[in-house]
């Protein structure tokens, strides 16, 4: 086990986990992960824990779609959608493959996802932060998520409302093996 990765589960941090690439419910329509275990870099885990606590203060919960992403998964995603506006080229390295990125949304106290205007992995300008072509409610929900995550020390990716990463993510090495 890589010493820099921490296993994330409902018991240790109180989040909902729906790793989309461990199912067919993703843009590729194929199961890509060999495992349904959620891992994140230990530094990112501290920031995730803070985000969870900030969300709880607002009676909200975090649902994780993706976190640490093995290199082989990054390569498969790139093969399906070789668009650097949404998928990091494998030779460049994704913050996910460094364990310092997370894809997520917010749940209300009944466990329902807040409306963010698009689903996870909507690869169009509708998923951009600052997109005005979504409902007012969706826009406010995105701002709520942005506020929680930035308050917890995360940086955002302009093209995906669901993607957050640690600042200076490239300073972390790519993790080849769990």
Question: Token digits for 16?
Answer: 């909902």
User: How many whole angstroms separate alpha carbon 102 and alpha carbon 25?
Assistant: 17
Residue 160 annotated as catalytic: yes
Question: Token digits for 30?
Answer: 């194929």
The answer to whether residues 145 and 37 touch, using CB atoms and an 8 Å cutoff, is: no
SS3 assignment, position 38: strand
The residue annotated as part of the active site, out of 75, 113, 122, 160, is 160
The answer to whether residues 148 and 54 touch, using CB atoms and an 8 Å cutoff, is: yes
Active site residues: 160
């Amino acid at each position: 086990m890589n010493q820099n990765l921490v296993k994330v589960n409902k018991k240790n941090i109180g989040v909902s986990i729906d790793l989309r690439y461990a199912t067919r419910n993703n843009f590729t329509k194929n199961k890509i992960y060999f495992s349904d275990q959620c891992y994140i870099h230990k530094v990112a885990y501290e920031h995730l824990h803070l985000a969870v606590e900030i969300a709880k203060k607002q009676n909200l919960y975090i649902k994780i779609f993706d976190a640490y992403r093995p290199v082989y998964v990054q390569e498969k995603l790139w093969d399906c959608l070789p668009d650097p506006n949404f998928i990091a080229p494998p030779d460049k390295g994704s913050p996910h493959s460094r364990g310092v990125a997370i894809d997520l949304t917010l749940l209300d106290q009944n466990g329902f996802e807040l409306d963010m205007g698009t689903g996870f992995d909507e690869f169009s300008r509708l998923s951009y932060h600052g997109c005005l072509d979504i409902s007012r409610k969706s826009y406010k929900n995105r701002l709520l998520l942005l506020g929680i995550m930035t308050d917890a020390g995360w940086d955002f990716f302009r093209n995906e409302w669901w993607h957050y990463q640690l600042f200076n993510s490239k300073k972390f090495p790519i993790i080849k093996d769990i």
